[in-house]
Amino acid sequence: MPKVVSVHSYRGGTGKSNFTANLATTVAALGHRVGVVDTDVPSPGIHNLFCLEPEQMGKTLNNYLWGESPIEDTAYDVSSNVGLNSGGTLYLVPSSVKADDIARILNNGYDVKLMNDGFRSLVKALKLDYLFIDTHPGLSKETFLSIAISHVLILILRPDKQDYQGTAVTIDVARQLNVRKMLLAINKAHSKLNLEALKQKVEETYSETVAGVFPLSEDIVQLASEGVFCVKYPEHPVSQEFRRVALQITEG
Amino acid sequence: MSDLGNLQSLTSSIAAVTSPFRNYLNDLHEKYRSLNEGKVADYIPELALAKPEWFGICVVTQDGHVFEVGDCDQLFTIQSISKAFVFGLALEDHGREYVNSKVSVEPTGEAFNSIVLDEVTNRPYNPMVNAGAIATTDLIKGKNGTERLKRLLEMFERYTGRVHDINVPVFLSEKATGYRNRAMAYLMLNFGMVSHNIDETLDLYFQQCSIVVNAKDLAMMAATLANGGVNPVTKKRAIDERYVQDVISVMLTCGMYDASGEWAYRVGLPAKSGVGGGITAIAPGKLGIGTFSPLLDAKGNSVRGIKVCEDLSREFGLHLFNVTTPERKLHDWIAGGDGINDW
């Protein structure tokens, strides 16, 4: 049975898209067929990490939501862009970066039912093993939907007070939606912190599993938002941490 | 407190979208939307405007969960589906004995517009054929046509939780071309089965057929009957509980025109169809189904609607007389959870 994995954070700037790109690629590299949908319609960005330039994009998620195109026609095979050559396949459904397209979605909204039905059609049409949903930060109907539909919800937080509070709110919502499996990921942890103690503290606070702790990494910052880190530096500790998180998704 | 109420209301609406049951309905919609058999009713020009691709499926459970797929907001005229519900109001107005003295409850096996009356009692056969429906509408109380129409519209509002209007062009067309119905009414007047108020009653009959609804309304109406006459969302009573069984049983025996026998055998859900393309079907104590697709078979029933009801009945064991364990358990599919593979 295919699995839907939603990656979410309450606030922006947690490194959500970067995390999603690395995790999805790691799972694909295990030999799976993986799709990523950028549902961050107001501020799309994950296409950069998969080296898909706006001028290479024909149809996007927006066209599907406007009823202009089947969702599978908006998916791009980005396996070779990210350097996957081990048998796995990676698709991306990008959101449009054109200002007018974003404005049209914001003005007119769209029926969240379409998003649900689109995810299912995509999984069927591309025979996906895993579907990753990159979401807009904060809570909205779309986030509620992506939380409700997911088999695994990954909440990303940074070790600071604002993120702690917001994550608590999101966890409440996720429990209300009977989410099947919830994992926390701590990102941008300062190198002076005791990471193991931090992990324990967060697990105690929320009574949820912390799947991985990622230190604030200059290496990743250096690579900026072009390319997927864990493919370029597979032996780096950060890449190894992504593999540990990936196994919790594929084996759980 | 109100915060929690808002959260619950939002989560339950999202849960209805992602529920495996809605996903099942979505797959059904996908399965039958390319089925292009049958044709759109064209005996009046207004009905011929319906687009053949329109297709909506809505299910409302007895506890008020709403599952919608496809064109569930598309409006169309209720047509013959009104007959079952007007029968309920006539029963409330006069009681079972008097209504039965004017209209029998025997299936005819004849087409819906046949001009036949019971040879012994002169009663029309049942409230679902045109003759019986006109005699039933004649029984609706009110001091004039306007008040009687208002009572009908208010009754539908109690069933659906939404204010209804009539489609005036459809009404005028039905009225202008309804010679056969007019003939039936006069035949019944000849036998003293309807009042002398015949023009007003015929107007009201054409108006009730021209009431505008959507697939969600039909599901809500069915769910209200399935819930003993109380709308499961608004919690308002739409019909006296004593007469729920009268309406439902006549739907089972006569609701699908002259295909009712086969329908009761194969689908086993009390239902009523209309030439506008709607079907309302009841699983008593469980749920109501509303389907809309204007492509009709030779007997006047929606082709895709029949398929949807057949599948739902079979796979969830909704047939009234089913005693086997169904392939899918309704409760589990509505609630969702790890045991359900809806992918």
Residues B147 and B117 in one domain: yes
- Whether residue A224 is predicted with pLDDT greater than 60 in this model: the reply is no
Q: Which of B11, B18, B337 sits opposite A116 (nearest CB)?
A: B18
The pLDDT of residue B3 is 57
Is residue B34 exposed (0-12), middle (13-18) or buried (19+ Cβ within 10 Å)? exposed
Shortest CA distance to B222 belongs to which of B59, B26, B37? B59
Which superfamily does A3-251 belong to? P-loop containing nucleotide triphosphate hydrolases (3.40.50.300)
The pLDDT of residue A140 is 87
The pLDDT of residue A36 is 98
DSSP annotation of B291? E
Residues B237 and B189 in one domain: no
Counting one residue from chain A and one from chain B, the pairs whose CB atoms sit within 8 A come to 44
From residue B4, alpha-carbon distances to A141, A234, B7, B9, B12 in Å are 16, 46, 5, 8, 12
Is residue A251 exposed (0-12), middle (13-18) or buried (19+ Cβ within 10 Å)? exposed
Shortest CA distance to B220 belongs to which of B81, B83, B319? B81
CA B18 to chain A, closest CA, distance in angstroms equals: 6
Residues B117 and B182 in one domain: yes
Residues B329 and B242 in one domain: yes
- The answer to whether residue B161 sits within a structural domain is yes
- The answer to whether residue B343 sits within a structural domain is no
- The answer to whether residue B6 sits within a structural domain is no
Chain B residues in contact with A173 by the CB 8 A cut-off are: 7, 11
In this predicted model, what pLDDT tens digit does every residue of A37-91 receive, in sequence order? Answer: 999 999 999 999 999 999 999 999 999 999 999 999 999 999 999 998 878 999 9
In chain B, the number of structural domains is: 2
Residues B289 and B225 in one domain: yes
User: Do A186 and A9 meet the contact criterion of CB atoms below 8 Å apart?
Assistant: no
Residues B31 and B49 in one domain: yes
Beta strand pairing status for A130-134 and B56-61?
unpaired
CA A7 to chain B, closest CA, distance in angstroms equals: 17
Chain A residues in contact with B16 by the CB 8 A cut-off are: none
Give the number of other Cβ atoms within 10 Å of residue B191's Cβ. Answer: 13
- Half-sphere exposure (Cβ direction) of A147: Cα atoms closer than 13 Å: 30
Give the number of other Cβ atoms within 10 Å of residue B216's Cβ. Answer: 24
C-alpha–C-alpha distance, residues B233 and B170, integer Å? 30
Residues B205 and B224 in one domain: no
Residues B91 and B145 in one domain: yes
**Nearest-by-CA chain B residue for A120:** B343
- The answer to whether residue B11 sits within a structural domain is no
Put simply, the answer to whether A120 touches B343 (Cβ < 8 Å) is yes
Q: Tell me whether B12 touches chain A (CB under 8 Å).
A: no
Instruction: Collapse the DSSP code of B111 into the 3-class scheme (helix H, G, I; strand E, B; otherwise coil) and give the result.
Output: coil
Q: Tell me whether B71 touches chain A (CB under 8 Å).
A: no
Total number of residues shown for chain A: 252
Instruction: Name the average pLDDT for chain A.
Output: 92
Q: Domain range for residue B185?
A: 81-209
- The answer to whether residue B340 sits within a structural domain is no
Name the domain boundary from B209, B236, B268. Answer: B209
pLDDT tier at A109 (50, 70, 90 boundaries)?
A: confident
Q: What is the mean pLDDT of each run of 10 residues along chain B (343 residues)?
A: 72 88 95 97 94 98 94 97 98 97 88 81 91 96 97 98 97 94 94 93 97 98 98 97 98 94 96 98 98 96 98 97 92 79 75
The pLDDT of residue B338 is 65
Q: Tell me whether A149 touches chain B (CB under 8 Å).
A: yes
Give the number of other Cβ atoms within 10 Å of residue B209's Cβ. Answer: 28
Q: Tell me whether B322 touches chain A (CB under 8 Å).
A: no
Name the domain boundary from B209, B231, B248. Answer: B209
C-alpha–C-alpha distance, residues B248 and A143, integer Å? 42
In this predicted model, what pLDDT tens digit does every residue of A189-207 receive, in sequence order? Answer: 988 889 999 999 999 999 9
- The answer to whether residue B307 sits within a structural domain is yes
User: Do A135 and A39 meet the contact criterion of CB atoms below 8 Å apart?
Assistant: yes
Residue B296 is part of a domain; what is its CATH number? 3.40.710.10
Put simply, the answer to whether A148 touches B10 (Cβ < 8 Å) is no
C-alpha–C-alpha distance, residues A232 and A16, integer Å? 19
Residues B90 and B180 in one domain: yes
Name the domain boundary from B209, B235, B268. Answer: B209
Q: Residue for token digits 């998916």?
A: A75
Residues B124 and B197 in one domain: yes
Residues B136 and B68 in one domain: no
Each residue of A136-167: b (16+ CB within 10 Å) or e? bbebebbbbbbbbbbbbbbbbbbbeeebbebb
Looking at residues A111-136, what average pLDDT do you find? Answer: 95
Q: Tell me whether A236 touches chain B (CB under 8 Å).
A: no
CA B343 to chain A, closest CA, distance in angstroms equals: 7
Put simply, the answer to whether A141 touches B7 (Cβ < 8 Å) is no
Question: Residues of A numbered 177-196 whose beta carbons fall under 8 angstroms of chain B's beta carbons: which are they?
Answer: 177-178, 180
Residues B133 and B250 in one domain: no
C-alpha–C-alpha distance, residues A122 and B318, integer Å? 31
Shortest CA distance to A92 belongs to which of A78, A106, A72, A102? A78
Chain A residues in contact with B18 by the CB 8 A cut-off are: 116, 145, 148-149
| A224 or A180, higher pLDDT | A180
Put simply, the answer to whether A116 touches B15 (Cβ < 8 Å) is no
Put simply, the answer to whether B26 touches A176 (Cβ < 8 Å) is no
Q: Which residues of B are catalytic?
A: 80, 83, 205, 257, 275
CA A210 to chain B, closest CA, distance in angstroms equals: 22
Q: Which residues pair with A34 in a beta bridge?
A: A90, A130
Put simply, the answer to whether B14 touches A141 (Cβ < 8 Å) is yes
Backbone angles phi, psi at B68, to 5 degrees: -125, 140
Put simply, the answer to whether B68 touches A176 (Cβ < 8 Å) is no
Looking at residues A16-31, what average pLDDT do you find? Answer: 95
Residues 6+ apart with CB under 8 A from A202: A157, A159, A184, A186, A210
Looking at residues A120-142, what average pLDDT do you find? Answer: 94
Put simply, the answer to whether A177 touches B17 (Cβ < 8 Å) is no
Q: Tell me whether B8 touches chain A (CB under 8 Å).
A: yes
Q: Which of B11, B22, B23 sits opposite A144 (nearest CB)?
A: B11
